[in-house]
Amino acid sequence: MKTKPDLSGFEEILDYKFTDINLLYTALSHTSYVNEFQSSSSIKLSSNQRLEFLGDTVLSTVVSTFIFKKHKDMPEGAMSKFRAALVCEGSLYEFALSIKLDLYILLGVGEEQCGGRNKPSILADAFESVIAAIYIDGGFSFAEKMILNVMQEEIDNKAENYFVTDYKSNLQEQLSKIKIGKEQYNPQYSIINTKGPEHALIFIAKVEAGDLKCSGEGRSKKEAEQSAAKVMLEQLAKRNKMSGNN
């Protein structure tokens, strides 16, 4: 008969002591483990699928709130992309490994033999399930603390990448604050030329908004548009400085 494992070591890693340890046990129980456990025990056991659903929401809320408060100049488009990159399966897999979740995940024999302990999908789902277990057991503040303990360094390290490279979103946000009468500035992009050999084309993009016209270059159309947006952002910054606006 299967017996429930000791999870005190994992509680130490999480820096959280469960009031109801069965919540953590469920969070770590993959469907393959539950199916095998049920066949050899009269104890009713649930998999982590429902917890994963809840954990996804808690995780998104914590990450979104942290980005919103910590990186106040990051435009909405960049925030959305940044959050998506942080909570995608690949990222959650890495976060799961960082708390040694691969050592504690409970798998059936068949899934274990198939390398389930190292499958990104299994560990990512379990990571979210653990978040939900802490949320249910101790409340939002403890779940938030656990998430930020694991993820904050990565968020801070990568935030600048999403702010400085998404010039188009940043420009859109800046222009939305400017009005001509009742009309808002609306940037229009176009590819106006190319240069260089066919195998290494350089695209030249133009962006127009009101009386502003700027151009930029890049190795792809998107890169050229981002470059043009960056130039216009610089022009807006100079105009604001000259007019005394912050």
For residues 125 and 59, is the Cβ–Cβ distance under 8 A?
A: no
Annotated active-site residue in 36, 52, 111, 128: 128
Q: DSSP strand E in the chain: where?
A: 179-180, 183-184, 188-195, 202-209, 212-218
Task: Examine the residue annotation and report whether 102 is marked as an active-site residue of this protein.
Answer: no
Can you tell me the distance from the alpha carbon of 5 to that of 241, in angstroms, rounded to the nearest whole number? 63
| 83 contact partners, CB below 8 Å, separation of at least 6 | 60, 63, 64, 67
Residue 216's Cβ-count burial label (10 Å; 0-12, 13-18, 19+) is buried
Counting every residue written for the chain, the total comes to 246
Q: DSSP letters of 203-225?
A: EEEEEEETTEEEEEEESSHHHHH
Task: Examine the residue annotation and report whether 94 is marked as an active-site residue of this protein.
Answer: no
Exposure string of 89-106, with b = 16+ CB inside 10 Å and e = fewer, is: eebbbbbbeebebbebbb
Annotated active-site residue in 36, 52, 56, 111: 56
Q: Which residues are catalytic?
A: 56, 128
